[in-house]
A and B are shown apart, each in its own frame.
Chain A
């Protein structure tokens, strides 16, 4: 009797867990494309963007899987933002060190290394990545990182001011001012095309 009760409780717990995992899987499937593009725009590097999204997924599932479904979005983007910031910090240090070596060796970086790898994109995908999107991406990448990320989280991810502030680890007032400046800059840059 005791054993069967124990087994039933375990089975119920496993069902609840599997249901929660299915929901989490659906959430991640829905967010992964946008998260990747957000990270890609922030880093301008496809492989690193994929790594950042993967890290964010791992962390969310490991630490916050049992949280309420409504909290997953802000939590996931909070982790992703943290990873993007870390990536930029590491990049700054790397550039500083490499710059020092470059000066020491009087060696110049190969400009081809900066060119994005487009070989894997099909002609259809090139078409889909319209001219206006290319200009939008350029304009977004020209924004300061925090303005860029606030804009994407608010406009694309649909986070409200409070959730964006939570994800960006900043005050709600900062979110509003970053967003306002981002919209102003983008409209100025894209005005002639849009």
Chain B
């Protein structure tokens, strides 16, 4: 740090500024009294901090780029039969996606009042309600010894089944499909 030396202090400086500059110069000089051991330790700490965060990251990024290159090359060396199978799988997946999209469009056209998918209650919430209902059924509180009403228990079991959730959501659609199928 460059500071004005004591001898070069301007006469314009106030008492306080002179004092402060003298303190700073004295502190600067005190750095010369650091022992060799202290200097070595400080240098080691600096290098260790850089190695720990910096150079390790560089090594990591070098490894990462090597991985990326290897993966790119391996992707270009896929055998022809594997590539054909992958194409077929992709074709099947796209066909299913198109079919599902067509079903949704038909359903929305015929049942515009149907609950949008984004409003569907998450499966976790259903699972929580199921657990709650089960707990209440298995461990009824002493103050309320009577069992849960049958209808409520039945609803609980219904909503607890995440696998069948889609079926219940699409009941109207399946009804419509059955009616149309019968007509055809």
Chain A residues packing against B (C-beta within 8 Å): 2-3, 6-7, 10, 13-14, 17-18, 21, 24-25, 28-29, 32-34, 36-37, 46, 50, 53-54, 57-58, 60-62, 65, 120-122, 125-126, 128-130, 132-133, 136-137, 152, 155-156, 158, 183, 186-187, 194
Q: How far is the CB of B16 from chain A (nearest CB, A)?
A: 6
Residues of B in contact, count (CB < 8 Å): 41
Which residues 2-41 of B have a CB within 8 angstroms of A?
16, 19-20, 22-24, 26-38, 41
| Contact of A128 with B33 in the complex, beta carbons under 8 Å | yes
Question: Is the Cβ of A58 less than 8 Å from the Cβ of B42?
Answer: no
Are A17 and B19 interface neighbours, CB within 8 A?
Answer: no
Q: B38 to A155, Cβ gap below 8 A?
A: no
The 3 closest A-B pairs by CB, nearest first: A54-B45, A57-B49, A10-B65
Q: List residues of chain A with CB within 8 A of the CB of B65.
A: 6-7, 10
B172: shortest Cβ distance to chain A, in Å? 50
Whether B42 pairs with A33 at a CB distance below 8 angstroms is yes
- Least distance between B74 CB and chain A CB atoms (Å): 11
A18 to B58, Cβ gap below 8 A?
yes
Residues of A within 8 A of B72 (CB): 2-3, 6
Residue of B nearest to A49 (CB): B38
Q: Within the complex, which residue of A3, A57, A62, A121 is in contact with B46, where a contact is CB–CB below 8 Å?
A: A57
C-alpha gap A125/B36 in the complex (Å): 10
Q: How far, in whole Å, are A175 and B127 apart by their CA atoms in the complex?
A: 57
User: Can you list 28 pairs linking A and B with CB atoms under 8 Å apart?
Assistant: A10-B61, A13-B61, A14-B58, A14-B62, A17-B54, A17-B57, A21-B50, A25-B46, A28-B46, A32-B45, A33-B34, A37-B27, A37-B31, A37-B34, A50-B42, A58-B49, A58-B53, A60-B49, A61-B54, A65-B54, A120-B37, A120-B38, A156-B1, A156-B27, A156-B28, A183-B16, A183-B20, A187-B19
**Chain B contacts for A120, CB-based, 8 A:** 35-38
Give the complex CA separation of A10 and B52 in angstroms.
Answer: 21
Contact yes or no, A128 B29, CB < 8 A? yes
Dominant SS at the A interface? helix
**Residue ID in chain B nearest A57 by CB atoms:** B49
Excluding A29-B43, A37-B30, A120-B35, 20 further A-B contacts by CB distance (< 8 Å) are A3-B69, A6-B68, A7-B69, A13-B61, A21-B58, A29-B46, A33-B34, A34-B31, A36-B34, A36-B38, A36-B42, A53-B42, A54-B48, A61-B52, A62-B53, A129-B30, A129-B33, A155-B20, A155-B23, A156-B24
- C-alpha gap A36/B49 in the complex (Å): 15
| Inter-chain contacts of B37 with A (CB < 8 A) | 120
Residues in B neighbouring A46, C-beta threshold 8 A: 38
